[in-house]
């Protein structure tokens, strides 16, 4: 295929901007400085990384805040702490963040290079040369081979296919793997692949217009509140300093001479305490959060249970800032095609003349699960069979071999009534190019059962019927559209018989059947209900013989209507309705739109976790409903499934109100108050009187999303357990997500696989891309990616829940240990004259968050888990507390602050009282400031370490090492820093000489440490015991079960396949575009007529047909029943069958 890209004319207000270019003329096109075709998503290069990254980091308020603190510490009048207490943590923060940003940008560079360095053949200097896509320029002519990526917008010049058609897979745009048909312009179709003609082409005489080869807030709010508390505490202490200076300050001026007024002293004290108490919002918090998020992201990347071996695709966390939000998801918005389904259609079952085929039975007549049956049908008798096609019911191939006339007519219809194109590059190797995968599956099924579609021309279809080549004259295609929901072909057999073959939605076909088919229709309806109950996509098949004289008159009127300039469509519809009546029913097909593995189980698990799933798809209603039932999104057990199909705002509003009244009769009046609720920007959660589903079409959704009706729609949808939006545009997908975000206090997740899902993915709080065969556009815009939808349950119920739980425990504990640390300073201020003197040694202040308590809390935040993954799947209700944000709410934060206040009182006053008027065993005094500071900080470290142990649910060797190692590190560093040697080297930096060895060898000091530790944790232990006994949470109950089990529980029992019947079935299964039939029957650009080929079937067996049963399935009957057994009380229609003759037969 040859493609050519051009810019278009852009119209702006008041002027028209013309973009000029020439094909095969790079020099001319370069003069306009059009954009290159290279992709760039990276932010930095080697030279710009350091300045740009530092500039970005200091734009963050937290970093700027600590930079201001550093400046304040350099002012001697207000600083009682050394500069290194802030510089060291700040430098560590900047370094870690820069390393993370560098890693992310390197990955972006790699992704860009992968796309930019793909190769393509470009016509340069009258020769095809291999070039990188990034080097392709405006006006280049390129040649694409089959299955090549297209990474630019192109204009088709010519193709190797008949009619200059090309079949394009747009999976990267819309996630659909069915092929889209494009056709070259007539003026360029004759260029073919002639290099000389293409090299001479410049495109100046044409006017084409295409697009070119050319051209985390809650935590932050909490930090602000904490900062406000810091200012409040500092204000209190400044006022205390003022009062103290006024009352007692004059008593010290004899030896502390100064001229400062009390007011100025209070002003300086305020800033001094801003520096001292800044640990209430420590800078190490941000470093720790980044490390925890990064570590939990690595767990997702390393999870082998989320690795898809078929495509060698691991899960990938493309961001490190949203892991904990994965544990709070309330709404999941999902695409259908390529996300829930594989977009692979499989011919699964069929009903022919009242007999159902597709199920497999054992010798006792019991139906077997297909997965347990290891003996598929042997198609070796058919040399043209597709080896990939698998079917297990041997009775159907027996009926074909025994020349059952109804079965032959059934597959003959499938081989003739379609718009598939056949390609046969080698003898016997057929490749079908179908615009919809449904049609491809049906034609492939007919091919394997002996009715092989071989080739077509605008006026003929060649098929091989049971080894004999036959050519049917194609007289008309009555094309598909969304209103007709059917398609028909009119053909003339080699014997001269005229027939109309029709396939379509069963409800549509049934309306056009002859009355003699009533009993057969009843039996087929039962089969259709059974097929639909299994989530299969169904079609009904029918035919009629035509009278030659009548058809001649009809054909003339058809020609007149098709050439009419007025009401062409309506005239054609009338003619189609006229001829498509009194049809004779042949049977029905059942195609499986194969779901991805584990989709029903995943949706069921997410529903148990109270996660609401909305499917937003561009597919038609019947298809989406079918998938909804097959994947457990919609269930027969639901009280009702509301379908909103209104074509006016009034109709849509009424349908929504009716649904609300049915789900919550006592809440009808509330709908009148929706406008008042809207001002509050929040829609409260409501419970319906049962389980319901909602299906709404795209045109109805357009009205529902209007500002006057959006709350009605949202309230109705939120009352339902499942919502399916059909025929929606990418913009509507994003609008639905934004609507939920606007009026519901909930975290949303969107998952898709194509570029049409990008807007939805970006609109949601969290975006997930499905990677693999369907393309990479959604992945590039997502926060997380993996290859299969089923991995979503592990992402949310395991990684998301653990990440949320760990982050909440981290924040609660981190604030506890730092509030406790800081509040001790606050109490000490009342005993030091509000002089901004610190309780602890400066080195302890510096190392408290960086060394003594950093690793234990990181160990808990990286390794802790309340239950393992198996228990998480068995009890998905464990996920619900995260949706309600129970583990770190305002209430939880208030409890943490109260606990810290209590602990700080214990940690200050118990050591203070213990040392007051106390002497050593040898009679020496120990009641000095340094001994008090050492005792207080030691008590603090023991108390927070024990509290950490109470917080952890899952002890590992790493956690144990971190906790014990940090305590050991504290004593090692303390004895080193308080040694004589350090004092002699740096006397001003290490003034606590000998304090450790003089204090920590006293029994009363250790008794004080034990007492304070017990008093700090006693309220926690008591409250937890009472809460578990009186009102246990779901976590408490499950953890109790785990302790009872004392071992990992066995995996969940295997779910048996539940068969169900349904009165609801798919109305239409194939989905090609309207108007394609006219394209097939047109003779434009046809360059290669069909070439007669050998049939590919062995010519043995019956004298009349040259065919006899052979292979493993010949004569095989698993039930031992006659194969031509008719269904009782069913009238056999008088089918006009064609016997198969050789092409040369008269």
Query: Which residues does the annotation mark as catalytic?
Result: 335
Tokens describing residue 442: 């049906």
DSSP reduced 3-state for 1131 = coil
> How many whole angstroms from its chain centre is CA 1118?
44
Region of 150 (left: φ > 0; alpha: ψ -120 to 50; beta: rest) is beta
CA angle 780, 784, 788 (to 5 degrees): 95
Radius of gyration of the chain (CA): 38
Contact 422, 432 (CB under 8 A): yes
Tokens describing residue 735: 């609008």
Tokens describing residue 141: 């002519």
> How does DSSP classify residue 287?
H
Tokens describing residue 266: 């209070």
Q: For helices 61-73 and 84-116, what crossing angle results, to 10°?
A: 150
CA distances from 764 to 726, 742, 778, 976, 987 (A): 19, 11, 13, 53, 58
> How does DSSP classify residue 746?
S
Kind and range of the H or E run holding 482: none
Kind and range of the H or E run holding 723: strand 722-725
Contact 591, 1069 (CB under 8 A): yes
Residue 291 phi/psi, 5-degree rounding, is -65, -45
- Is 148 buried (19+), middle (13-18) or exposed (0-12) by CB count in 10 A? middle
CA dist 58 and 36 (Å) reads 34
The DSSP-derived string for 756-813 is GGHHHHHHSSEEEEE-STT-SHHHHT-SEEES-TTHHHHIIIIIIHHHHHHHHHHHHH
The DSSP-derived string for 542-572 is EEEE--HHHHHHHHHHHHHHHT-SSSHHHHH
CA angle 146, 152, 153 (to 5 degrees): 95
Q: For helices 801-829 and 854-863, what crossing angle results, to 10°?
A: 160
Instruction: Name the E strands within 966-1103.
Output: none
Contact 823, 254 (CB under 8 A): no
Contact 428, 384 (CB under 8 A): yes
Pairing label, strands 329-334, 747-752: parallel
Pairing label, strands 612-616, 316-317: unpaired
CA torsion through residues 344, 350, 356, 361, sign: negative
| Residue whose token pair is 């057994």 | 1125
The DSSP-derived string for 632-650 is TSS-TTSSEEEEE--SSHH
Beta bridge partner(s), residue 347:
591
CA dist 1068 and 620 (Å) reads 9
CA dist 753 and 770 (Å) reads 5
Of 337, 335, 175, residue with least CA distance to 754: 175
DSSP reduced 3-state for 9 = coil
Pairing label, strands 329-334, 316-317: unpaired
| Residue whose token pair is 């249970």 | 305
Residue 475 phi/psi, 5-degree rounding, is -95, -30
How would you label 580-590 residue by residue, b for 16+ Cβ within 10 Å and e otherwise?
A: beebbbbbbbb
CA angle 613, 614, 616 (to 5 degrees): 145
């Amino acid at each position: 295929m040859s493609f050519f890209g051009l810019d278009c004319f852009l119209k702006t207000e008041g002027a028209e901007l013309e973009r000029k270019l020439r094909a095969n003329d790079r020099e001319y096109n370069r003069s306009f400085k059009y954009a290159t075709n290279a992709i760039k998503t990276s932010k930095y290069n080697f030279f710009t990384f350091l300045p740009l990254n530092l500039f970005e980091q200091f734009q963050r308020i937290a970093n700027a805040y600590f930079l201001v603190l550093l400046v304040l510490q350099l002012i001697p009048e207000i600083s009682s702490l050394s500069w290194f207490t802030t510089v060291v943590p700040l430098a560590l923060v900047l370094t870690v963040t820069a390393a993370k940003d560098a890693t992310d940008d390197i990955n972006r560079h790699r992704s860009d290079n992968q796309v930019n360095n793909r190769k393509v053949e470009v016509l340069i200097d009258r020769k095809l040369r291999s070039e990188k896509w990034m080097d392709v320029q405006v006006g280049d002519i390129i040649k694409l081979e089959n299955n090549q990526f297209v990474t630019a917008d192109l204009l088709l010049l010519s193709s190797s296919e008949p009619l200059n058609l090309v079949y394009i897979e747009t999976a990267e745009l819309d996630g659909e793997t069915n092929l889209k048909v494009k056709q070259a312009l007539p003026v360029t179709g004759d260029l073919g692949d002639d290099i000389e003609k293409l090299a001479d082409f410049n495109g100046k005489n044409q006017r084409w217009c295409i697009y070119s080869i050319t051209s985390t807030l809650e935590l932050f709010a909490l930090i602000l509140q904490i900062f406000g508390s810091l200012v409040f505490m500092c204000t209190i202490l400044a006022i205390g300093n003022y009062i103290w200076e006024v009352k007692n300050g004059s008593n010290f001026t004899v030896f502390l001479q100064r001229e400062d007024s009390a007011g100025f002293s209070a002003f300086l004290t305020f800033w001094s305490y801003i520096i001292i108490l800044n640990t209430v919002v420590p800078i190490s918090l941000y470093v720790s959060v980044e490390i925890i998020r990064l570590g939990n992201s690595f767990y997702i990347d390393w999870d082998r249970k989320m690795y898809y071996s078929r495509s060698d695709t691991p899960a990938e966390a493309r961001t490190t800032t949203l892991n904990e939000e994965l544990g709070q998801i309330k709404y999941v918005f999902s695409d259908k095609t390529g996300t829930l389904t594989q977009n692979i259609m499989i011919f699964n079952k069929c009903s022919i003349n009242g007999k159902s085929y597709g199920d497999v039975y054992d010798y006792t007549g019991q139906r077997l699960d297909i997965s347990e049956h290891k003996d598929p049908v042997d198609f070796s008798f058919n040399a043209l069979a597709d080896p990939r096609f698998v079917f297990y019911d041997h009775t159907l191939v027996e009926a074909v071999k025994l020349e059952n006339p109804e079965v032959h007519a059934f597959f003959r219809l499938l081989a003739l009534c379609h718009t598939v194109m056949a390609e046969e590059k080698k003898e016997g190797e057929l490749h079908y190019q179908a615009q919809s995968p449904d049609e491809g599956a049906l034609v492939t099924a007919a091919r394997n059962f002996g009715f092989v579609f071989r080739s077509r021309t605008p006026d003929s279809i060649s098929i091989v019927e049971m080894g004999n080549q036959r050519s049917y004259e194609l007289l008309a295609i009555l094309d598909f559209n969304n209103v007709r929901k059917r398609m028909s072909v009119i053909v003339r057999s080699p014997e001269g018989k005229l027939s109309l073959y029709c396939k379509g939605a069963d409800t549509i076909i049934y309306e056009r059947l002859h009355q003699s088919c009533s009993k057969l229709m009843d039996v087929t309806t039962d089969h259709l209900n059974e097929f639909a109950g299994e989530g299969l996509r169904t079609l009904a098949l029918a035919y009629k013989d035509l009278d030659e004289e009548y058809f001649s008159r009809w054909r003339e009127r058809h020609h007149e209507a098709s050439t009419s300039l007025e009401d062409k469509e309506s005239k054609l519809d009338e003619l189609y309705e006229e001829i498509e009546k009194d049809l004779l029913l042949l049977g029905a097909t059942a195609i499986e739109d194969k779901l991805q593995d584990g989709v029903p189980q995943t949706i069921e698990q997410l529903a148990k976790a109270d996660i609401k799933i909305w499917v937003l798809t561009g597919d038609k209603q019947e298809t989406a409903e079918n998938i909804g039932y097959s994947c457990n999104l919609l269930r027969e057990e639901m009280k009702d499934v509301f379908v909103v199909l209104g074509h006016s705002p009034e109709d849509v509003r009424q349908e929504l109100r009716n649904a609300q009244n049915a789900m919550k009769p006592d809440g009808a009046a509330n709908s009148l108050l929706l406008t008042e609720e809207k001002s509050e920007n929040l829609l409260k959660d409501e419970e319906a009187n049962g389980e319901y589903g909602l299906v709404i079409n795209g045109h109805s959704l357009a009205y529902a999303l209007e500002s006057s009706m959006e709350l009605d729609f949202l309230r109705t949808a939120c009352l339902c357990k499942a919502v399916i939006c059909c025929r929606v545009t990418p913009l509507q997908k994003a609008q639905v997500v934004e609507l939920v975000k606007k009026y519901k206090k909930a975290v949303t997740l969107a998952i898709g696989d194509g570029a049409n899902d990008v807007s939805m993915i970006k609109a949601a709080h969290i975006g997930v891309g499905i990677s693999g065969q369907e393309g990479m556009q959604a992945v590039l815009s997502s926060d997380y990616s993996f290859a299969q939808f089923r991995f979503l349950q592990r992402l949310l119920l395991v990684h998301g829940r653990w990440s949320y739980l760990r982050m909440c425990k981290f924040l609660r504990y981190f604030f506890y240990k730092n509030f406790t640390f800081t509040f001790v300073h606050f109490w000490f201020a009342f005993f030091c004259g509000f002089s901004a003197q610190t309780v602890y040694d400066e080195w302890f202040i510096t190392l408290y968050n960086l060394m003594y308590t950093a690793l234990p809390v990181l160990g808990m935040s990286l390794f802790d888990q309340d239950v393992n993954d198996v228990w998480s799947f068995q009890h998905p209700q464990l996920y619900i507390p995260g949706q309600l944000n129970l583990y770190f709410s305002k209430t939880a934060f208030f409890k943490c602050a109260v606990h810290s206040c209590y602990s700080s009182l214990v940690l200050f006053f118990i050591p203070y009282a213990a040392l007051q008027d106390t002497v050593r065993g040898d009679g020496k005094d120990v009641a000095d400031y340094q001994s008090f500071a050492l005792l207080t900080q030691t008590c603090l470290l023991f108390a927070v370490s024990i509290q950490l142990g109470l917080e952890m649910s899952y002890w590992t060797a790493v956690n144990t090492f971190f906790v014990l190692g940090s305590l050991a590190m504290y004593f090692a560093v303390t004895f080193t820093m308080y040694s004589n040697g350090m004092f002699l080297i740096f006397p001003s930096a290490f003034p606590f000489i000998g304090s450790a060895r003089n204090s920590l060898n006293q029994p009363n000091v250790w008794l004080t440490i034990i007492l304070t530790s017990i008093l700090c944790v006693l309220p926690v232990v008591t409250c937890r015991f009472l809460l578990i006994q009186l009102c246990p949470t779901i976590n408490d109950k499950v953890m109790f079960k785990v302790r009872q089990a004392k071992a990992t529980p066995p995996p969940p029992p295997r779910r048996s396949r539940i068969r169900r019947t349904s009165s609801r079935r798919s109305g239409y299964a194939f989905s090609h575009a309207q108007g394609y039939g006219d394209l097939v029957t047109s003779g434009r650009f046809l360059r290669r007529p069909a070439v007669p080929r050998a049939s590919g079937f062995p010519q043995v067996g019956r004298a009349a047909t040259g065919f006899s049963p052979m292979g493993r399935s010949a004569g095989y009957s698993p039930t031992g029943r006659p194969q031509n057994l008719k269904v009782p009380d069913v009238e056999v229609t008088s089918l006009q069958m064609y016997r198969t003759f050789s092409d040369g037969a008269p």
